[in-house]
Amino acid sequence: MKPASRRARCSWAARLRAGARLLAGVCLAGAVQAAEPAGDAARTDAAGQPDAKAASRALVLTHKLRLTQQQLLQSPAVKRILQSDNTLAQAALTQAQQLYDQAASEAGAGTVDAGTLLVDESLRLIVTASRMAPDTQLLAAQERQHNTELREAIRTFHLLHKNYSNRLAAINAPAPEVDSDMERLDAMTRQADALVSQGQQHEAHVLLNSAHLIVVSTLNKMLMSQTLVYDLKFDSPADEFQHELAKNIGLEELVPLALQQARVKREAAELAERYRQHGRALRSTAQQQVQSGDYATGIKSIQEASVLLQHALRMAGVALPQSPEITR
């Protein structure tokens, strides 16, 4: 006796061959209908001429039948489903074949509208079945790529955190309390790297996604710590400007990373970049104002530049409370 799966595949192949013959008959019937229309395709206009819209619908149905037959005969997804043990996907595929057969019969009888509804549902079921039995090799490749992207984002975040901490220390500003977060992040990335080296990409993917959440959380803590600066007292306007300048540069560095982590749409990313460019130009203006001795205007300008960067960060879903100096 043939195994059940082999019998099913043989039965499937036989039905597809029968479907191919039926489609050939449909195409021939379509040629006959062009001369002697029947059913839906037999409609005529007021002058007694064949209805062009009905003929067009019949042609569209023929194309859909060919597409569906091609999917059933040649699609890698269909072959993958037939070779799999996914009974739900195979059942959906069987139903798709049955609907295709019915659609071809309706087309042969000239009932175009009914045939179109059936073939559309057949195509939908083919797509549904392919999603039930995804390409494991493709999914694995996508996971590997995403793991690489996440690992690079974490590496970039480490460099950013180091530069950010050094800048705050240089101006005696309070640093956000994220040491425990960074330790957890390091432990998780080391474990993920070990999993990748062992070929366990999926397990590493789950772990790196969790590490990514820590990056987002820590990034928000770093951003929120900017509000603490206004409890400080400065010995001179020059010191205050240098502090505002360091804060502004730190915000600008955070923008691309925040956008990358949030995976924002292209339009939002473009708007955020315009905010960043405008903020950079305003920072240059502030520096020129300070060089000419106008510290009051320069401080105001650099604070406004920081507001623009805050707008850019909002495009990534990061909202910062504005400082009293900026809002008043």
On whether both 220 and 309 belong to a single domain, the answer is no
Question: Are 203 and 94 contained in the same domain?
Answer: no
- Distance of alpha carbon 90 from alpha carbon 306, whole angstroms: 58
| Domain end point (choices 134, 166, 192) | 134
Residues 294 and 188 in one domain: no
Going by pLDDT thresholds of 50, 70 and 90, the confidence category of residue 52 is confident
Mean pLDDT across the chain, nearest whole number?
A: 77
Query: Helix, strand, or coil here: 147?
Result: helix
Confidence at residue 233, expressed as pLDDT on a 0 to 100 scale: 63
Model confidence at 286, pLDDT cuts 50, 70, 90, reads very high
Strands (E), 38-167: none
pLDDT, average across residues 50-62: 82
DSSP-derived secondary structure for 157-218: HHHHHHHHHHHHHHTTPPPP--HHHHHHHHHHHHHHHHHHHTT-HHHHHHHHHHHHHHHHHH
327 class by beta-carbon count within 10 Å (0-12 exposed, 13-18 middle, 19+ buried): exposed
Least confident of 130-144, 216-230, 301-315: 216-230
How far apart CA 13 and CA 27 sit, in angstroms, is 21
97 and 65 share one domain: yes
pLDDT exceeds cutoff 70 at 109: yes
18 and 106 both lie in a single domain: yes
CB neighbour list of residue 287: distance below 8 Å, 6 or more residues apart: 245, 298
Q: Would the pLDDT of 6 be above 70?
A: no
Q: 44 Cβ partners below 8 Å, 6+ apart?
A: 50, 51
Which residues sit opposite 50 in a β-bridge? 44
Query: Which residues, in sequence order, are CB contacts of 68 under 8 Å at separation 6+?
Result: 96, 100, 103, 119, 122, 123, 126
What is d(CA 6, CA 113) in angstroms, rounded to the nearest whole number? 36
Q: Taking the alpha carbons of 272, 273, 274, 276 in that order, is the dihedral positive or negative?
A: positive
**Final residue in a domain of this structure, among 134, 152, 183:** 134
CA-based end-to-end distance of the chain: 86
Most confident of 1-10, 225-234, 301-310: 301-310
Q: Say how far apart CA 34 and CA 29 lie, in whole Å.
A: 9
Range in 33-47, 235-249, 306-320 with the lowest mean pLDDT: 33-47
> Which domain, by its residues, includes 164?
135-228
Q: Give the per-residue pLDDT at 302.
A: 93
73 or 232, which is more confident: 73
The pLDDT tens digits for 147-198 are 888 888 888 888 777 877 777 676 666 667 788 888 899 999 999 999 988 9
The domain boundary, picked from 204, 228, 252, lies at 228
Packing angle of the helix pair 295-314, 266-291 (nearest 10 deg)? 170
What local confidence, expressed as pLDDT, does residue 76 receive? 83
Q: How would residue 305 be classed by pLDDT, with cut points 50, 70 and 90?
A: very high
Is 109 in the same domain as 10?
A: yes
Residue range 122-140, pLDDT digits in tens: 999 998 888 887 766 777 7
Please tell me the predicted confidence (pLDDT) of residue 226. Answer: 54
Q: How many whole angstroms separate alpha carbon 128 and alpha carbon 121?
A: 10
Task: Based on the fold, state whether residues 13 and 87 are members of the same structural domain.
Answer: yes
Q: Which of 37-46, 179-188, 244-253 has the highest mean pLDDT?
A: 179-188
pLDDT at 19 over 70: no
Rounded to 5 degrees, φ, ψ at 322 are -80, 150
Same domain, 215 and 248: no
Q: How many domains does the chain have?
A: 3
pLDDT at 48 over 70: no
129 and 20 within one domain: yes
Q: What distance in Å separates the CA atoms of residue 190 and residue 85, rounded to the nearest whole number?
A: 36
Judge if 78 and 123 occupy the same domain.
yes
Looking at per-residue pLDDT, the higher value among 115 and 13 belongs to 115
Higher-confidence position of 8 and 142 = 142
Does the structure show a pLDDT above 50 at 265? yes
Q: What distance in Å separates the CA atoms of residue 311 and residue 273, rounded to the nearest whole number?
A: 10
Query: 103 and 28, same structural domain?
Result: yes
- The CA distance from 5 to 38, in Å, is 42
Give yes or no for residue 8 having a pLDDT over 90. Answer: no
| CA proximity to 41, closest of 24, 60, 25 | 60
Tell the residue number behind the tokens 């023929």, with chain if given: 62
How much is the pLDDT for 166?
A: 77
Name the token pair of 13.
């192949």
Least confident of 115-124, 223-232, 246-255: 223-232
How much is the pTM?
A: 0.43
Residues 96 and 17 in one domain: yes
CA distance 96 to 82: 13
Query: Where does the pLDDT of residue 30 fall: very low under 50, low under 70, confident under 90, or very high at 90 and above?
Result: very low
Across 41-48, average pLDDT: 50
